[in-house]
A and B are shown apart, each in its own frame.
Chain A
Amino acid sequence: MATVIIDGQEIQLAEGERLNGVQAAARAGIEIPHYCWHPGLSVVASCRMCLVEVGRRDDKTGKIAMQPKLVPACQTPATDGTVFVTNSKKVADARAMVEEDLLLRHPVDCPICDKAGECLLQDYHFRYGQETRRADIKPFTSRRRELGPAVTLFVDRCVMCSRCVRFCREVAGTSELMVANRGAHEEIDVFPGFPLANKLSGNVVDLCPVGALGDRDFLYQQRVWFMKGHSHVCANCSAGCSIRIDENQDQIYRIKPRENPQVNRWWICDEGRYGWKHVHDPNRCVTAQKRQAAGAAPMEWSPLIAELDTRLRRSRRLAAVVSPHLTVEEAYLLCRYVREIDAEAALVLGPVPQSDGDEKYPGGFTIRAEKCPNRRGVEQIITHFAGECAGWEHFLERLTKERFDAVWVSGGYCSQWHDAAAADRFSSADILIVQDLFALPLMRRADYQLPGAAYPERDGSYVNHAGRLQSFGWAIRPPAGAMVEGQLYWRLLKRPGLYQSRAVLDEVARDILYFRAAAEPVPETGVDLNCTPAAGAP
């Protein structure tokens, strides 16, 4: 075990733990400011913001010998006996110098900069900078150029930390970004004709510690202090990346990755980053309707639920299509409900959209081919109730031979997920209930047309491709008129009050062995369902 001393405070590192000065200080609750260092990228030690004094304590005598010069904390390993001093005048002067240097050519256009409010240059300036400007005043300029479809560069705001360049080299492996020119004329740029167009490009905006790299989608849309961030899980593929949804009054403005060493580390792909546009699509269904001879008529939810429940309970043969976009809890409630009425009800996994294959990146990031968040979770739920998990194609076959009194279809896909021919197969059902986002063929054919929720509106848990369960709360409320699936099932099951996903997950963890690990509170980074210790034991 190693003992590291930071500003006189001793902290213990576990055996084999390799931390640098910045990380070790963070353990002790001490911030060492830094721009260029990022845990997911190589160390360049070039911004010099993390300069500290370093020394070593002699094991035997206990005497501390300090190095005469400042060293970057990011490049200094914290080993047994390492002494870091971060609060001396020398360190404070060095930080003030770097802050002053970085602001020499900076336009200081914070009032129109998207980064203002979450900008390290701003924050560090207030914490470590000097009160007065000593440098010559330069007229305000903010040259801008597009680096690619997603990212724009405000050239003069850049502090040359080179995080974005290293990201493209080390994580994306595409190396589009480079440093052009030399000295104070340095600029980030792309080679003519080779824009920053990889599928991870949005990450460079998150990495940028200042307002140099802008997200073209988010540009000038919202001041960051107006938004509220919600921990969530991306639903665009089965990787299940941890994300943060930033919204203001139920309007999403952007999605950012949330650090999760077990899943996505610090990154998300652009599909996930911009894969929320369907949530605010004006064509979304927002009115519950009942189809009648004269066409569809709007209906209030309360009488609709009562009528639906009465009619379903009178039916004998039931089937439910459980979408892989439903959460574990929602899938459980839906299966439970239809099985309560018909113990032999057919439970079917909704279509699982697939792309050509997993897209792997050199830095270890993978975009999964399976374009839905919760196939594994839904499969396990269906298997628990039905003993096996039938697929969508198989069910379409079955519909030609068998007749069901009622079929419940859950959707939630962001785009067209079935064609008219598939919808025609459902014509034999007496009652067709469809809850979905858009008025697709099945919805138009349905007797009960229910507007459902998109993933930022859901509350519950997804199980990703590797069997990791992550829980999340809703980030925004569904549009007026739509009802989140979980809430609808909750009411059909006549449970009191509002839908509580955690209560359902407790039930799931108790009933289904696969979910046992979820019985404990689920940490922010999720829980691995595969390595449940002593499965079966109480």
Chain B
Amino acid sequence: MADFEPVLMANMQREDSHTLAAYEKAGGYAALKRALREMQPKGVVDLVKRSGLRGRGGAGFPTGLKWTFLPQETRGPVYFCLNADESEPGTFNNRVLMEQDPHQVLEGLILSCFATCATTAYFYMRYEFPLAWRRVQAAIDECYSAGYLGSNILGSGYSLNVYLHRGAGAYICGEETGLIESLEGKRAWPRIKPPFPAVEGAFRRPTVVNNVETVACVTHIVARGAEWFRSMGVPPDPADPRDPGSFGPKLYCLSGHVERPGCYEAPMGLPVRELIDRFGGGIWKGRRAKAAIPGGISMGLLRADEFDCRLDFASPARYGCLGLGTAAVVVLDETVSMVDFLHNSCRFFAHESCGQCTPCREGTAWSLRMLDRIRAGRGRWKDLDLLLEIGDSIGIIPGSTICGLSDGAAWPIKNAIRKFRAEFEDYIRQSNPQGYLETAPVAALDSTGSH
């Protein structure tokens, strides 16, 4: 892995990397020109399929396969939605891409739209990225002037319009059907599936929703080929027939209690320990690590003795986490109280639950209320069992909700309590020595103030 050359971040070191001139000077848009000249949309789809590219947004669904779900014969438009509503706590790889190298994203977007025969693309960006918003809009304008966007791109006969849409700051808009609803001007309540967006998405038309980093990878797959992409990463686990492997470069977001937090590029399958030590310069202030979030807060927690976990799509699940997610590693050092961590996590999900499905709306709020009470010195051991029961019963995996938000809410609860139960019990016993064994319902706090 030592000889790995950054690909996605290669251009970012250059001056004015966000401008068209800098991007073209570094060889940008060559892949697009060649593809439009030499390839058919089907060819791009096959190429991406062969590369084994999996969506970088969190679920890791094979991108090429997703594209083939579009109906073969369709009259009328196909829409492409670029999911830049990057709101998973700890995640900022899309922001880095959009701020530092928006043309790389746009080239990938144009290639992906070409592959899916979409002639309209919506670039759905979260509200909280003002710099990225300005830079992407400027880059789109440059593309129109240079003929990379608009009608009859580079004389190929292919036309594409890109609209930059700015969200209003809701985590749920990162869920693909929530994004579509929001784009249509509605409340971002995720839709029930089926139908999947590929069949009926934005404005009831076939729609593809892909992540920013995913389309950035498409640029390089077209430029360098599927074999290059498959040359790095983790091959499929022969013991698991459903594992398609994790290939290609990946942007890892490292934050929390490390010496050098930041966005780092490495091949898929980088062990957590290596990310922290080699890229992040180790735990800050010479302290020891207590835990780390493997890929955004939704994915759960790794204990410090589980840092051998490799960051690919399959490995975190072996350590009881939900998955790779966005590969956003947040490191917690030994001073962090897990009660505080879980309280913060629950507060986030209670705040961001869209409120559509009962188990998520009430479960996230209830768990926050319990943690509020625990932190106020009125916790009971029984609350831990109740929290675990909530964690085990909400989510799309048990089937009790429409979208995966509550799986994301459940995993931190499950991992934190199962992996650090002794700490929770100590905290409760010490903070509520009289009542920690109470089992009858207790009075709720008057005002939580935290949500």
Binding site for B on A (CB under 8 A): 43-49, 51, 69-72, 75, 93-94, 97-98, 101-102, 104-105, 132-139, 159-160, 179, 181-186
Whether A44 pairs with B192 at a CB distance below 8 angstroms is yes
Number of B interface residues in the complex (CB < 8 A): 38
Provide the residues of chain A in CB contact with B361, threshold 8 Å.
Answer: 101, 160, 183-184, 186
A361 smallest CB distance to B (angstroms): 22
State in angstroms the CA–CA spacing of A102 and B363 once bound together.
10
State in angstroms the CA–CA spacing of A94 and B392 once bound together.
11
- Secondary structure class of chain A's binding surface, majority of residues: loop
Whether A183 pairs with B354 at a CB distance below 8 angstroms is yes
B403 smallest CB distance to A (angstroms): 11
Task: Name the contact of B358 in the complex, choosing from A43, A47, A75, A133 (C-beta under 8 A).
Answer: A47
Q: Does B344 contact A (CB under 8 A)?
A: no
Which 9 pairs, one residue from A and one from B, show the smallest C-beta to C-beta distance?
Answer: A69-B399, A184-B365, A101-B362, A70-B399, A136-B444, A183-B353, A186-B355, A46-B356, A183-B355
Whether A184 pairs with B400 at a CB distance below 8 angstroms is no
Task: Name the contact of A136 in the complex, choosing from B364, B398, B443 (C-beta under 8 A).
Answer: B443
Interface residues of B in 365-403 (CB under 8 A from A): 365-366, 369-370, 373, 386, 393, 396-402
B393 smallest CB distance to A (angstroms): 5
Whether B170 pairs with A135 at a CB distance below 8 angstroms is no
A153 smallest CB distance to B (angstroms): 17
Whether B357 pairs with A179 at a CB distance below 8 angstroms is no
Closest chain B residue to A96 by CB distance? Answer: B393
State in angstroms the CA–CA spacing of A69 and B396 once bound together.
8
With contacts A97-B393, A179-B187 taken as known, whether A134 is within 8 angstroms of B358 at the C-beta atoms is: no
B448 smallest CB distance to A (angstroms): 11
State in angstroms the CA–CA spacing of A65 and B363 once bound together.
30
Provide the residues of chain B in CB contact with A75, threshold 8 Å.
Answer: 192
Most buried by A among B187, B399, B451: B399
Task: Name the contact of A49 in the complex, choosing from B192, B358, B363, B442 (C-beta under 8 A).
Answer: B358
Whether A182 pairs with B354 at a CB distance below 8 angstroms is yes
22 CB < 8 A contacts A-B: A47-B357, A49-B358, A70-B398, A70-B399, A72-B192, A93-B393, A94-B400, A101-B362, A104-B362, A104-B366, A132-B441, A135-B441, A136-B443, A136-B444, A160-B358, A181-B355, A182-B170, A183-B352, A183-B354, A183-B355, A183-B361, A183-B365
A18 smallest CB distance to B (angstroms): 15
Q: Does B33 contact A (CB under 8 A)?
A: no
Task: Name the contact of A44 in the complex, choosing from B356, B363, B364, B393 (C-beta under 8 A).
Answer: B356
State in angstroms the CA–CA spacing of A62 and B135 once bound together.
60
Whether B359 pairs with A133 at a CB distance below 8 angstroms is no
In the complex, besides A94-B393, A98-B359, 5 extra interface pairs with C-beta distance below 8 angstroms are A46-B402, A69-B398, A69-B399, A136-B441, A182-B354
State in angstroms the CA–CA spacing of A134 and B398 once bound together.
22
With contacts A101-B366, A136-B369 taken as known, whether A159 is within 8 angstroms of B358 at the C-beta atoms is: yes
For the A-B complex, the count of residue pairs with Cβ-Cβ distances under 8 Å equals: 107
State in angstroms the CA–CA spacing of A135 and B373 once bound together.
12
Closest chain A residue to B396 by CB distance? Answer: A69
State in angstroms the CA–CA spacing of A179 and B364 once bound together.
19
A132 smallest CB distance to B (angstroms): 8
State in angstroms the CA–CA spacing of A254 and B401 once bound together.
37
With contacts A47-B358, A49-B358, A184-B362 taken as known, whether A97 is within 8 angstroms of B400 at the C-beta atoms is: yes
Provide the residues of chain A in CB contact with B192, threshold 8 Å.
Answer: 43-45, 72, 75
Provide the residues of chain B in CB contact with A97, threshold 8 Å.
Answer: 359, 393, 400
State in angstroms the CA–CA spacing of A467 and B370 once bound together.
62
Provide the residues of chain B in CB contact with A184, threshold 8 Å.
Answer: 350, 353, 355, 361-362, 364-365, 451
Provide the residues of chain A in CB contact with B357, threshold 8 Å.
Answer: 46-48
Whether A48 pairs with B401 at a CB distance below 8 angstroms is yes
With contacts A43-B192, A136-B444, A138-B444 taken as known, whether A51 is within 8 angstroms of B400 at the C-beta atoms is: yes
With contacts A71-B399, A136-B444 taken as known, whether A98 is within 8 angstroms of B355 at the C-beta atoms is: no
Provide the residues of chain A in CB contact with B352, threshold 8 Å.
Answer: 182-183
Closest chain A residue to B370 by CB distance? Answer: A136
Interface residues of B in 181-222 (CB under 8 A from A): 187, 189, 192
Task: Name the contact of A102 in the complex, choosing from B358, B373, B444, B445 (C-beta under 8 A).
Answer: B358
Provide the residues of chain A in CB contact with B170, threshold 8 Å.
Answer: 182
Provide the residues of chain B in CB contact with A71, threshold 8 Å.
Answer: 399
State in angstroms the CA–CA spacing of A22 and B358 once bound together.
18
Q: Does B290 contact A (CB under 8 A)?
A: no
State in angstroms the CA–CA spacing of A75 and B193 once bound together.
9
State in angstroms the CA–CA spacing of A94 and B451 once bound together.
26
